Structure 1
Amino acid sequence: MDFTPTPEQEAARDLAARIFGDLSTPERLAGLGGGTDGELWKELGAAGLAGAVEETGLLGLVLMLEEQGRTTAQVPFAASCVYGLLAVAAHGTDEQRERLLPGLRDGSAVAAGAFPARGGIVVDAVADGRARLSGAVPWVPWLRDATHVLVAVRGETENTVHSLWTVRAEDAGCEPVELTAPWSAGRLVLDGVEAERLGGPEAYGDVLAAARTAFAGLQAGVCAGSLSRAVEYTNEREQFGKPLAAKQGVQLRAAEAYMDIEAIRVTAYEAAWRRDAGLDHESHALTAAWWASEAGKRVVHTGQHLHGGMGADLDHPVHRHFLWGRQLDGYLGCGAELLEELGEVIASGAGAADGGEAA
């Protein structure tokens, strides 16, 4: 395994870092409230960063999402790339790719994902790859910005393969939902909404694994940004004539956070690299998600604690990282559930067919 970025991946990451760094400043973010940064989204589309994911692969996307996480930029970059561009490119028909990909590449179309598959969505009148969906999903990140929604439908029994369907957001109902982080979420309401199938039996597992990997990469950036702010603060803040960073306890907390971030990063890189290489990556995506969930919340708590009383200020920039870290923890799933699923995957023999093991 070689996680060294290609020149194309490095160029995309560096461009993303510059755009996110220039536009997602604490002052600008404070003025956005809970809404999406439309200007930044247009800038990302004009720079071709979403479209670049087709060439840089999932690893390239993870690298760019790290840069988004460092600034907690309020744009649906992860969702639209994973549930839209990558999903359609990998599993769409020629007609679907021709129709949907241009808008997803330039940002004029935005995809959201009702993931993972939950009960309550009913599929009626399936014919020629089309059906009507009814039911509701309690909350879908970035639904208020979406033009298309990828809906994951659970099979009727545990042994039934889950299916993927795309619906136009304008045909579905959206009730605004406020989450811990400002992700423009909504409750998805489907009442006999026309939908078209995306991909075959393998599509759900592939998209879910890609999403877990991508959001783990986003968490790595969120945590890195939190720790960076904490390091800067403890080096500047003095107590009894010495910087807080000189205290052994502070150093140990920062070191533990750094190791947690590296664990999130390397497991996300491995899962992304394996998908790009065409290798089994389901167990590796679960491993990355577990680290992002469990270690991620530890890191953002550390970031707040190392700020002392300033960390309790809801307007302080580090608090945004705390909110995003906890939201990603909830979105990826609790550690116990992820470990249970990982154990089932390993026990079934999946993920070890090519000699790979979960990290």
Structure 2
Amino acid sequence: MDFHPTEEQAAAAGLAARIFGDLATHERLAAAGTGSDAELWKALTAAGLPAAVEDIGLLGLVLLLEEQGRSTAQVPFAATCAYGVLPVAAHGTVEQRARLLPALGTGEAVATGAFPNRGRITADRGPLAAATADTGRRTAQGGVRLTGTAPAVPWLREATHVLVPDADGGLWIVRTDAPGVRTAPVETTAPWSAGRLTLTAAEAEPLGAAGAYEAVLATARTAFAGLQAGVCAGSLARAVEYTGVREQFGRPLSTNQGVMLRAADAYMDTEAIRVTTYEAAWRVDEGLPAREHALTAAWWASEAGKRVVHAGQHLHGGMGADLEHPVHRHFLWGRQLDAYLGCGSELLAELGDALAQEG
């Protein structure tokens, strides 16, 4: 494995760092609430970053999401790329790629995913019409319709398209403005503009063949683990800055051994998330088996991520209890990512089953 980013990946990450650093300020984040920062999203799409993900791959996306996580920027960047750009590029038909990728790249379309598959959505395939030779799409009349609910879909209130797995593991693209599709806002731990998705015989178009669900889930877990690495790095950076200037008994808090050890543990946890995520992303980009590696990265993101954001808040002392303090956003994001796509115990059980099947 090569841990060094390509020239294109490094350039994209540097550009993302500048845009997030300039626009994802504490004041703008507070003003955005649970909505998306339209100006920041416009800047990212104008810079070509969502479109670039098709070329720089999952590892490149992880580098970009680290920068988003550092600032906890309020934009549907992770969801659009993990559930839109990469799945369509990897599993879409020629027609789907030509129709969807340009819109996702410019921000005209915003994607999210009703993941993971909890068996809440079923597909009524009915008397399917024959697929056309060039697109593979089924006609609306007599085609597949989805019914069910997904209780908390990230960035649903911003999305134009939702990638939906059914109870049998099939993947479907649903437009949020289609008949039979209803969305309602819900509150989650992190302010992700989330919503409840309700489908009632909603028309859907297929994406990919058998096995695409597992591939997309591994990609999403890896991408959101990269986001968690950034969240943790940002939380730790704030803690280091604060303890370096906050004095107690005439000396900075950072000179206390207990503070140094807590920060060192948080740093090692953050690096563990990063290195396992890089490995999983690299394997996906290289076309190598990556399910177990994605699960490993997701487990570290869940278990270690939770420890890091708690440490970041605790190292701020009384200031860490201030809900308006910037470090509290990292705490909220870290706790949301701790459970999203599977909490630590679920991921470990799934990893054990995967390893046993291989044995």
User: What band does the TM-score fall into relative to the shorter chain?
Assistant: over 0.9
1:91 aligns with 2:91: yes
1:300 match: secondary structure: helix
Displacement of 1:54: 0.9
1:188 match: secondary structure: strand
What is residue 15 of structure 1 aligned with on the other side?
A: 15
1:117 match: secondary structure: coil
Please show how residues 33-182 of structure 1 align to structure 2 within 5 Å. 33-126=33-126, 127=128, 128=131, 129=138, 130-155=143-168, 162-171=169-178, 172-182=181-191
1:339 aligns with 2:352: no
Partners of 1:184 and 1:15 lie apart in 2 by 25
Aligned letter for 1:196? Answer: E
1:289 aligns with 2:302: no
Displacement of 1:105: 1.1
Displacement of 1:332: 3.1
1:198 aligns with 2:207: yes
In structure 2, the CA distance between the partners of 1:234 and 1:320, relative to structure 1 (3 Å rule), is same
1:235 aligns with 2:244: yes
Partners of 1:335 and 1:82 lie apart in 2 by 21
Aligned letter for 1:154? Answer: A
Partners of 1:125 and 1:328 lie apart in 2 by 34
1:267 match: secondary structure: helix
TM-score normalised by L of structure 1: 0.94
- Over the aligned positions, Cα root-mean-square deviation in angstroms equals 0.9
**Residues 319 and 325, structure 2, Cα contact 8 Å, conserved in 1:** yes
Q: Cα deviations across residues 98-152 of structure 1 (Å, max 9, x unaligned)?
A: 1111101111100010001112212113524441111111110000000000001
Partners of 2:43 and 2:5 lie apart in 1 by 24
Instruction: Work out the percentage of aligned pairs sharing the same amino acid.
Output: 71
Q: Cα deviations across residues 312-344 of structure 1 (Å, max 9, x unaligned)?
A: 000000000000000011113211110110011
Q: Which runs of 5+ in 2 are unaligned?
A: 132-137
Q: Which runs of 4+ in 1 moved over 4 A?
A: none
Q: Which runs of 5+ in 1 are unaligned?
A: 156-161, 351-359
Q: Cα deviations across residues 126-183 of structure 1 (Å, max 9, x unaligned)?
A: 524441111111110000000000001122xxxxxx1100110112100100111111
**Which range moves more in the overlay, 251-260 or 94-103?**
94-103
1:298 aligns with 2:298: no
> Of 271, 280, 283, which aligns to 1:274?
283
**Which range moves more in the overlay, 37-46 or 118-127?**
118-127
**Residues 74 and 192, structure 2, Cα contact 8 Å, conserved in 1:** yes
**Residues 293 and 332, structure 1, Cα contact 8 Å, conserved in 2:** no
TM-score normalised by L of structure 2: 0.94
1:173 match: secondary structure: strand
Count of residues in Structure 1 that have an aligned counterpart in Structure 2: 344
Partners of 2:167 and 2:289 lie apart in 1 by 22
What is residue 218 of structure 2 aligned with on the other side?
A: 209
**Residues 16 and 49, structure 1, Cα contact 8 Å, conserved in 2:** yes
Partners of 1:332 and 1:237 lie apart in 2 by 37
Displacement of 1:205: 0.7
Partners of 1:235 and 1:125 lie apart in 2 by 61
Partners of 1:20 and 1:305 lie apart in 2 by 26
Partners of 1:6 and 1:125 lie apart in 2 by 44
